[in-house]
Chains A and B, each alone.
Chain A
Amino acid sequence: MDAFGGPIWSMTASPSGSQLLIGCEDGSVKLFQITSDKIQFERNFDRQKSRILSLSWHPSGTHIAAGSIDYISVFDVKSGSATHKMIVDRRYMGVSKRKCIIWGVTFLSDGTVISVDSAGKVQFWDSATGTLVKSHLIANADVQSIAVSDQEDSFVVGTAEGTVFHFQLVSVTSNSNEKQWVRTKPFQHHTHDVRAVAHSPTALISGGTDTHLVIRPLMEKVEVKNYDAALRKITFPHRRLISCSKKRHLLLFQFAHHLELWRLGSTVATGKNGDILPLSKNADHLLQLKTKGPENIICSSISPCGSWIACSTASRFFLYRLSYERDSISLQRVPKMPAFLRSALQILFSEDSTKLFVASNQGSLHIIQLSEGCFKHLHTFQPQSETVEAMCLLAVSPDGNWLAASGTSAGVRIYGLKELKPHCTVPAYNFPVTALGIAPNTNNLVIAHSDQQVFEYSIPDKQYTEWSRAIQKQGFHHLWLQRDTPITHISFHPKRPMHILLHDAYMFCIIDKSLPLPNDKTLLYNPLSLTNESDVIRRRTAHAFKISKKYKPLLFMELLDERTLVAVERPLDDIIAQLPPPIKKKKFGT
């Protein structure tokens, strides 16, 4: 629905969740009513001069604060009129700047409004009188984000210099009740703008242009200082951005606004461990598909045969047919995709490329039959319960009989594709699934969870396999459980049924189910020096987890054919080199 106010700059739901406020380019603040089935326009507030960049509700829902350019307005929700207009000082380090943009406002329940602006200030306002109470100049650049804790005794702001400041409400002296907002801790974990911050009861979370999500625990709230209480940096999205056509040795890379198709090179040489082989054919960039409009690509996939590419944005679904004639490649868009496919969360082709599985954000799973240049909607699995939970992970068995799907919270559903009926549900586990894979021949479903547990579930038998029970009984190695990044992809070797190949951002691992499991006393990561040892020692130290950390950060890894793996690294330096330059700070000011 259109709000008829130009681009929407800000949006916030009321404390009770029944109303939604939006701030528009034309300076209007609009109130919408949220009901269980729709969103309905309720009314406009007094129109302001310029765009509304930030909004905040008073916790009781009676007033709102709106940050615009150069001023903050306080509105009475009942009457819709502005009760106060608080002008923000434009000056920036003594020099008058053109405009002061209010990037964020927060309304506290005692009536205080906290604003952060482009002049580097954090300011406290009294909304009852419309006066400035206190001002902190914390940065030479924009302060872009603010988040308050639930108890309203501390808040966090993020600046364009990459710094995050923690403010706390502390007593002025040791035994007085008078409290004051004090800037307590600066954290510099980012190199670029901090665009978003969040305040959980025990941690500060910040993220920004430098593509990192940083979780910084508040040490005063931590009782035991151990590994779990350490700072965490999360770099990659926990999902698959690359798909692979095994047959034609193609890789499809998903970017925010385009797709790239590459053909892998090849070699005729052989060598020993560590050798780099001369290329007989280099990798080719075959195509680049750009989406129209500003929407990001949500998901994409290339079929195993390499002749289909599908991708989806929030409003459209695209399916392309590729045809190869020697070295040339031609692309044809399949027209008239049905509307229900749009805004898909995950797309998957069956192993023989005759079926396309699309997980919609409404929780249903669509199955589409593909044949020479056209498609047919075959079936839709509706979400089973009333709780609408979107499926975001899919896996299909290589024989095309089973489809496994999992949502964001725990629970993996398995559907039979022959009779098009739900087959069973894997017993619930408390942690979200991060990767799924179905082994060929045995139809064992391997499930990786975010707490680093890996389960193997036999689909035909509807129960966990012996190996899975054994490893759950013994427990995983503590170093395995301490890894920070989730497993994002699982694949199998067609000729070696005992092997499971999986990877996270910093390692890949081949689990050999025939070997003994490592216990906490054995080395999980076998050192390189062992290669030189005799066979006896190697056999004695061998265990099921064969881990290589050679490639990192690892974005994708897949078994291409029986003897070839393809790995995609995405060096952080390359990402950072493409970012806009951060604000430089001078060290000596004399």
Chain B
Amino acid sequence: MAALEEEFTLSGVPLSAGPDGLLGVEPSDRTDQFLVTHSGRTVILYKVSDQKPLGSWSVKQGQIITCPAVCNFQTGEYIVVHDDRVLRIWNNEDVNLDKVFKATLSAEVCRIHSVQGTEPLVLFKKGAIRGLEALLAEPQQKIETVISDEEIIKWTKIFMVFKHPVLIFITEKHGNYFAYVQMFNSRILSKYTLLPGQEEKSAIQSFAASANRKFISLMSLSSDGCIYETLIPTHPSDREKNQVVVRSLLLKAVVSGDVRNGVALSVLDQDHIAVLGTPLSASKECLSIWNIKFQTLQASKDLLQGTSGQLWYYGENLFMLHGKFLTVIPYKCEVSSLAGALGKLKHSYEPGSHAVPHFVNWETSQEYGLGSQNSEQSRILRTRKVEVSLQPAVSASAQLLLTIKNDTEKHIEVELRKFLAIKQTPEFHTTIGDIVTGLLGRCKAEPSFYPRNCLMQLIQTHVLSYSLCPGLMEVALEKTDVQILQLCLQQFPDIPESVTCACLKIFLSIDDDSLQETDISTESVFDYSDTVRDEKMEEQTEIMENGFNPEEDNSNKEKPQGTTEETTLSPVTPKRAALLRNAVLHSAYSEAFLLPHLKNIPAQHVTLFLQYLYFLYLKCSENATMTLPGIQPPTLNQIMDWICLLLDANFTVVVMIPEAKRLLINLYKFVKAQISVYSELNKIEVSFRELQKLNQEKNNTELYSIEVLELF
């Protein structure tokens, strides 16, 4: 619910506001401070929470301020224009406006707009727009005429859309209204003719606008008291010079058509607008908040002493001239939200809470929430910080990419090491991806170029994935570089099944000698020693267990002994085993996609792999926990799934091979044994169910029961 809070006035001294009221209220670079420009000669800086002025500046007698003072958010200075052409820039320390920086321009200024995140923009009365820096570099530069002679700028506003400023201004000519939208990222000025809606036959009195990423929603309050809305795209589809947009009715008769006091309109958020004027039913002026989504009046406040028909809205405060005083009415809007309905919307100023928990509101993301000015400020600061830290990294990566294109392998390696030593930035992984792509690009161009060490280093940064550098594994497959492949399989979460299969093929087919050669590098040796040590230990424990399990019956005992020969004799060399077991078995896959590729593996290799898997299974079933020793061993489920998959894919082939016969018989026996176990279990289940029934009868809470319950 939207609510207006208790109003307060900003200064005890009546304002010498002219008949037109104030020139403007503009935010300064501090959250709580606002620049108020009188239509005469004075600019006052107010601190709203203290309700008192912090500074006041006046122009000389005879001069007159023609444009509201604004704050340059990039420098913290204030800017004002007097006598249409004279620009003054000063800061908090300056006392006299006569002695501050002065620039006389060649054309009359209409408004200066300044928002967070961009330099101030100067709008001239003839429609031209200049950035402040460019203007100050050459104050007397020629300013072109954009709008026709009889058009007069009625209203202007600036937005930030996609971090770029968008300035909109409305002109009037003989009762017709035109909207100009100036985009600063594309430097396009689009002109729109505002056509009145079907039933609208009245003059526009006040404008307000809000912008999202796609549209500027321009609201106009007409003399018939209704509010009309016009949607103007921020990205014009066709570049025609003059386009037509139609106003459509948004809210009916919110204020009376009586123009005596003037009316004003301000957009508060997506759903709420504030209207200042005389409502139909009353004769007193009042400020009302309307929900435009539900077309309901949310709150209203009578302003008995009359207003100047001007309204400004910044942060959470509405500013207006009430009687002779500048009045501030804080405005609060609780967005009705799902999180609120579930009670998960937290308040920062909850009275009873000890530590305010950080909370995520599902309705407003951190990115574009209607946060208070405070949070907005910190956000901008944060983005700046990120940008700053990003800058060197980006340039360093660009440099590195250049090195990659031309330099020797050795040099690239050195540079890369330097680059990796720099602290990681948020964009680190994409930069690494770019570097890998660069390296691979050169690999493809020069067949002799293969920066193995660089690639290894990059893979070990733990930020790469298959989709970030799809060429990497292909190159490694081409070069049959099993070590890189192993690393990739271990690190990448998203390897397609076809590539996994290709790796598997290589691991199985590569002959032992070359395996011995290639693997003499660092990591796999540890793997090797690990497996050897593990196997020794396993054997020991096995004997121990056998010794301590005398009650195992003989037939069972025979079996493990028979198989221990097989067990101890792993069908593959330890290095290959390390490859298969740690790389392939751990990789993620989905059956449907893996099966067709598994069919392409030659039968001998399938048998070998099956033998190895069976060997692993036997190893697994040796201990009570059903796990394999070693670091990150494959689980029993992984092993069984792979056996199933391999058999699924190649059963017809495997069944024909004599070498596989023994293995298949073993597997068959194993499955048969399992089936018999399960059928026995099924039998037990019946008796268990009976037991359960008995148990349930004991505490029968089925449908209706009466229980005794003691609470403590």
Contact = CB atoms under 8 A, between A and B. Distances in A.
B341 interface: yes
Contacts of B346: 228, 451
A199 B592 CA distance: 31
Contacts of A15: 231
Contacts of A272: 708, 710
Interface in A505-557: 510, 526, 530-531, 538, 542, 546, 548, 550
A16 B343 contact: no
Contacts of A224: 358, 360
Nearest to A153: B213
Interface stretch (B144-152, B261-269, B294-302, B670-678): B294-302
Interface in A13-35: 15-18, 35
Interface in B431-457: 433-434
B648 A17 contact: no
Highest count of chain A CB atoms <10 Å: which of B215, B342, B368: B342
Nearest to A61: B231
A548 B711 contact: yes
Interface stretch (A130-138, A276-284, A295-303, A318-326): A276-284
B706 interface: yes
Contact of B365 (A202, A387, A452): A202
B340 A432 contact: yes
B706 A265 contact: yes
A450 B352 contact: no
A327 interface: no
A228 B357 contact: yes
Interface in A294-320: none
A201 B250 contact: no
A270 B345 contact: no
B214 interface: yes
A431 B251 CA distance: 29
A428 B313 CA distance: 25
Contact of A150 (B212, B342, B353, B707): B212
A388 interface: yes
B486 interface: no
B248 A18 contact: yes
B231 A201 contact: no
A200 B338 contact: yes
B358 A449 contact: no
A422 B433 CA distance: 69
Nearest to B430: A174
A417 interface: no
B359 A228 contact: yes
Given A18-B248, A201-B363, A587-B591, A450 B433 contact: no
Nearest to A451: B343
Nearest to B365: A201
Highest count of chain B CB atoms <10 Å: which of A215, A473, A510, A542: A215
A386 B291 CA distance: 12
A35 B252 contact: yes
Interface in B242-300: 248-252, 292-293, 295-298
Contact of A531 (B343, B700, B712): B712
B247 to A, nearest CB: 10
A109 B352 CA distance: 46
Highest count of chain A CB atoms <10 Å: which of B250, B340, B649: B340
Interface in A457-511: 472-476, 484, 486, 510
Nearest to A273: B710
Contacts of A238: 341
A64 to B, nearest CB: 15
Interface residues of A, number: 82
A432 B334 CA distance: 11
B30 interface: no
Interface in A378-402: 386-388
A59 B231 CA distance: 9
Given A60-B233, A61-B231, A590 B648 contact: yes
Chain B, interface SS category = loop
Contacts of A474: 352
B215 A60 contact: yes
Nearest to A225: B360
B595 interface: yes
A276 B248 contact: no
B631 interface: no
B214 A109 contact: yes
A432 B341 CA distance: 6
A473 B591 contact: no
B299 to A, nearest CB: 9
B336 A409 contact: yes
B343 A452 contact: yes
A486 B340 CA distance: 12
A18 B214 contact: no
Contacts of A152: 213-214
A475 B251 CA distance: 44
A588 B705 CA distance: 45
Interface string A394-435: 000000000000001110000000000000000000111010
A132 B699 CA distance: 62
Interface string B684-710: 000000000000000111011111111
B710 to A, nearest CB: 4
A482 B338 CA distance: 17
Interface in B49-94: none
A201 B367 contact: yes
Nearest to B363: A200
Contacts of B338: 200, 205, 215
A267 B708 CA distance: 11
A473 B351 CA distance: 8
B591 A226 contact: no
Nearest to B294: A17
A548 B709 contact: yes
Given A215-B338, A223-B366, A451 B592 contact: no
Given A202-B365, A229-B360, A279 B353 contact: no
B340 A510 contact: no
A319 B102 CA distance: 82
Nearest to A265: B704
A590 B595 contact: yes
B360 A546 contact: no
B497 interface: no
B360 A267 contact: no
Contacts of B706: 265-267, 276-277, 279
A589 B233 contact: no
Nearest to A262: B704
B297 A386 contact: yes
Nearest to A550: B709
Contacts of B592: 589
A330 interface: no
Contacts of A510: 711
A548 B346 CA distance: 27
A190 to B, nearest CB: 18
Contacts of B334: 409-410, 430
Given A277-B708, A431-B340, A388 B233 contact: no
A222 B358 CA distance: 11
A275 B707 contact: yes
A538 B346 CA distance: 35
A135 to B, nearest CB: 19
Interface of B: 1, 212-215, 229, 231, 233, 248-252, 292-293, 295-298, 334, 336, 338, 340-347, 351-354, 357-369, 430, 433-434, 591-592, 595, 648-649, 699-701, 703-712
23 contacts: A17-B292, A60-B215, A60-B231, A151-B368, A152-B213, A175-B434, A200-B362, A201-B367, A202-B364, A202-B365, A223-B360, A228-B344, A271-B708, A274-B709, A276-B699, A276-B705, A276-B707, A387-B298, A408-B336, A449-B343, A450-B340, A531-B712, A548-B711
Lowest 10 A-B CB distances belong to which pairs?
A450-B343, A451-B343, A201-B365, A273-B710, A174-B430, A203-B362, A475-B352, A283-B704, A546-B711, A109-B214
Given A151-B213, A274-B707, A282-B704, 7 more contacts: A200-B362, A202-B361, A224-B358, A228-B359, A265-B704, A387-B296, A590-B595
